[in-house]
């Protein structure tokens, strides 16, 4: 049940941020879908692995980036329109808040622990988007060609 609720609420929040960022109307639903699927993957990986924040943020950001690249090709729009509203759900807002709260409260050891966790999530998000973008760029350059008749290994020998 928590996966379904997470999917619905992340879709709504990505929808709101897509509207806030003035995305074109044709990209709003798809960017929200990319964000909801990315957050669903985030939750599933979190359920499987437990408490690790880096891998689940990396997986969620990677899937959101891949979905953004796919939707960008289908709609002939920049991928950033689909990735940014979708990635908002993964941003570690609570970690940033707790880090600043502990610094102000004078609990430096807790502040540094939260700071490193927050930086790990932020770096995982950026690395996931980087991997998705690099994969899509490498696949864009790759062209499927028919094999040459001269060197076709599938050709029957006489």
Extents of the domains making up the chain: 2-141
Question: Residue 118: what are its φ and ψ, rounded to 5°?
Answer: -65, -40
Tokens of 94: 């609570």
**Rounded Cα–Cα distance for residues 147 and 56 (Å):** 41
Low-confidence ranges of the chain (pLDDT < 70): 140-158
N-to-C CA span, the chain: 63
Per-residue pLDDT of 62-100, as tens digits, reads: 999 999 999 998 899 999 999 999 999 999 889 999 999
Give the number of C-alpha atoms closer than 13 A to the C-alpha of residue 72, restricted to the C-beta side.
20
Tokens of 92: 């570690």
Residue 139: the pLDDT is 72
- Write the secondary structure of 126-141 as one string of H (helix), E (strand) and C (coil): HHHHHHHHHHHHHHHH
H or E element, residue 35: helix 25-49
Per-chain mean pLDDT for the chain = 88
Tokens of 99: 């880090």
pTM as predicted: 0.82
Residue 141: the pLDDT is 66
The position carrying tokens 């960008």 is 72
């Amino acid at each position: 049940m928590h996966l379904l609720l997470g999917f619905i609420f992340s879709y709504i929040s990505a929808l709101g941020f897509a509207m806030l960022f003035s995305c074109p109307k044709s990209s709003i639903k798809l960017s929200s879908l990319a964000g909801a699927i990315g957050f669903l993957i985030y939750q599933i990986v979190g359920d499987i692995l437990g408490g690790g924040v880096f891998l689940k943020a990396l997986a969620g950001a990677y899937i959101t980036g891949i979905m953004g690249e796919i939707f960008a090709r289908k709609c002939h729009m920049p991928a950033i329109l689909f990735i940014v509203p979708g990635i908002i759900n993964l941003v570690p807002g609570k970690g940033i808040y707790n880090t600043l709260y502990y610094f102000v409260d004078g609990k430096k050891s807790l502040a540094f622990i939260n700071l490193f966790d927050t930086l790990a999530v932020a770096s995982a998000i950026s690395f996931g988007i980087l991997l998705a973008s690099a994969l899509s760029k490498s696949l864009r350059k790759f062209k499927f060609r028919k094999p040459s008749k001269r060197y076709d290994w599938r050709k029957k020998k006489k």
